[in-house]
Amino acid sequence: MPINILCIGDIVGRPGRMVLADKLPGFIEERKVDLVVANAENAAGGSGLTPQIIKKLHRYGVDAITLGDHVFRKREVIQAMEQSDRIVRPVNLLPAAPGKRWTVVPTKDNRYQVAVFCALGQMYMGNWNSPWPTVARTMEEIPSDVKVRVLDFHAEASSEKIAMGWFLNGKVSVVFGTHTHIPTADARVLSGGTAFIADVGMTGPYDGVLGRRKDRVLSFLTTSMPARFDVAEGDPRMCGILATVEPGTGKAIAVERVEVA
């Protein structure tokens, strides 16, 4: 029987956490979700993650947490990252960076195992190691009997994310993009059986600019004066994709965008 994997985009601050607390449990039950993967690098005050928030996300129904370029913004998360088998940091950081590069987590009914990993893009992002060889090496490290594999590609450029989808076409079950906080309209199953979307969007307040207060952002843009980009509050939504995957082959057979207000 196919399994349903929910991949959620950047959780932004308290509004993002609260919409998860309110909407995720019911969505899991209604749509028979077997595994939830969420990017949580912005969950603490809009930047970073803390041990307390990790516990809350798991309580809401998140099974595996991915991170991005703000991975170490809250240093207190490092110990939790090293101890937990439910959190991964980007595979293309330097090898000395703390945290797990990939993990294997069970579905909610413990029937199947799913590998989860994440990587950072390079275009307009930062001076990371190239994601291409590090992603390929990670694929070789994951046990071959774990057929269902999910990659969160945390990148700025849609072109780079689309390229990663084709790079892993038929080799992983799901490639979902994060980082831009803007959902794209290109959710599809690629020819090899990989569910793909360039960006799942943000789980957080849409009455703002990428989850930040619009008055603060506009003040900065129109005056050139520094402004604190506090997290917005209004119109919180849970955004992501729901991929249906055959566990025996790891091939996706369907994918749809999710947006719950």
Number of Cβ within 10 Å of residue 144's Cβ equals 7
Chain Cα centroid distance, residue 65: 7
Catalytic residues: 70
Q: What are phi and psi of 21, to 5 degrees?
A: -60, -35
Q: What are phi and psi of 30, to 5 degrees?
A: -65, -40
Cα distance between residue 160 and residue 105, in whole Å: 27
Cα distance between residue 32 and residue 17, in whole Å: 21
Exposure of 5 by Cβ count < 10 A (0-12 exposed, 13-18 middle, 19+ buried)? Answer: buried
The answer to whether the CB of 55 falls within 8 A of the CB of 17 is: no
- H/E segment holding residue 79: helix 77-83
113: amino acid identity, one letter: Q
> In sequence order, what E strands does 135-250 have?
148-154, 174-178, 188-189, 195-197, 204-205, 236-246
Residues 6 or more apart whose CB falls under 8 angstroms from that of 205 comprise 12, 13, 15, 16, 211, 231, 232, 233, 234, 235, 236
